[in-house]
Amino acid sequence: MTADPAAPILMFDSGVGGLSVLGKVRAVLPQAPVMYVSDNAGLPYGSKTEAQIAARVSGLLGRMTERYRPRLVCIACNTASTIALASVREVLEVPIVGTVPAIKPAAAMTRTGVIGLLGTAATIRQGYVDRLEAEFAADKHLLRHGAPELVAAAEAKLRGQPVDPAVFAQAAATLRAMPGGQRIDTVVLACTHFPLLEEELAAAFGPGVRFIDGSDGIARRIAFLTEGQEWARHAGPDREADAGDLALFTKNDPTDEALMPVLKRYGLLRRLVF
């Protein structure tokens, strides 16, 4: 059991995508103090090399856990998890919960046997995804598409900026155009940004398509790992995390001020730059 009831759950993502996971965590652990970290200085991750991502994520989480002493770290980012999860677990001495594409539940859901997978370019090329497919969907047809434009669309949407509907139509059309793509009935949202766009994606894919992501499983895992622990929020002059739930950004971007209404809806009442 953690010694400090105010020790937060640290949730880490390249941007706002991890909010889709935070929403599910709030549902099962409403009393838990949370520190949400957006590495907006490193966004987007999908265009970076594996070495760049592994070094950046390990370094940032090392410094942040040393400073803020979380009870658990959730890497709420598929790209960071599929690349850096093992190295982060070697470095940190707190429980680490990662995010992986929800291929297993998708394989159980599909009726046609054809599954679409939307992720970043970095995620869809990982051997980790190959292994998930081989283990859980070997008898299915998995079609992958890297759609970095959807990351930008989610970031814009949460800031109240206009998003071109053609972005969603293009993602759907690309998967549909692949061999067997017309039979897709299940789509794995393999980037935590993408559930924030489910309504728009559903309209683009049309009726008969269901979407799945890993957020429910992540929330259950965090609840299991923290079962029986005490939770508290209290103000204190010595630790920034004590005053309530905090959104921490790695770059001072003026457009992030437009995120405050959304952050507050997720219970993140303050925004600071790390």
Query: Which domain, by its residues, includes 87?
Result: 9-99+216-273
Q: Same structural domain for residues 91 and 220?
A: yes
Q: For strands 9-13 and 72-75, give the pairing.
A: parallel
Q: Same structural domain for residues 162 and 240?
A: no
Q: Same structural domain for residues 149 and 85?
A: no
Domain end residue (candidates: 163, 181, 213)? 213
Catalytic residue among 191, 201, 222, 247: 191
Q: What is the pLDDT of residue 238?
A: 46
Instruction: Express each pLDDT in 62-89 by its tens digit.
Output: 999 999 999 999 999 999 999 999 999 9
Q: Same structural domain for residues 196 and 227?
A: no
Catalytic residue among 10, 29, 34, 77: 77
Q: What is the pLDDT of residue 241?
A: 43
Q: Does residue 242 register a pLDDT over 50?
A: no
Confidence class for position 3, pLDDT limits 50, 70, 90? low
Has residue 1 been placed in a domain?
Answer: no
CA distance linking residue 124 with residue 122, whole number of Å: 6
- With contact defined as beta carbons under 8 Å apart, do 110 and 137 qualify? no
Over the chain, what is the mean pLDDT? 93
Q: Give the total number of structural domains in the chain.
A: 2
Is-catalytic flag, 191? yes
Q: What is the pLDDT of residue 154?
A: 97
Q: Same structural domain for residues 256 and 179?
A: no
CA distance linking residue 91 with residue 61, whole number of Å: 9
Domain end residue (candidates: 198, 213, 228)? 213
Mean pLDDT of 183-196: 97
Is-catalytic flag, 74? no
Has residue 3 been placed in a domain?
Answer: no
What CATH number does the domain containing 49 carry?
A: 3.40.50.1860
Mean pLDDT of 169-198: 97
- The mean-pLDDT minimum among 64-68, 103-107, 149-153, 237-241 falls in 237-241
Instruction: Express each pLDDT in 159-172 by its tens digit.
Output: 999 999 999 999 99
Q: Same structural domain for residues 158 and 222?
A: no
Q: Same structural domain for residues 165 and 79?
A: no
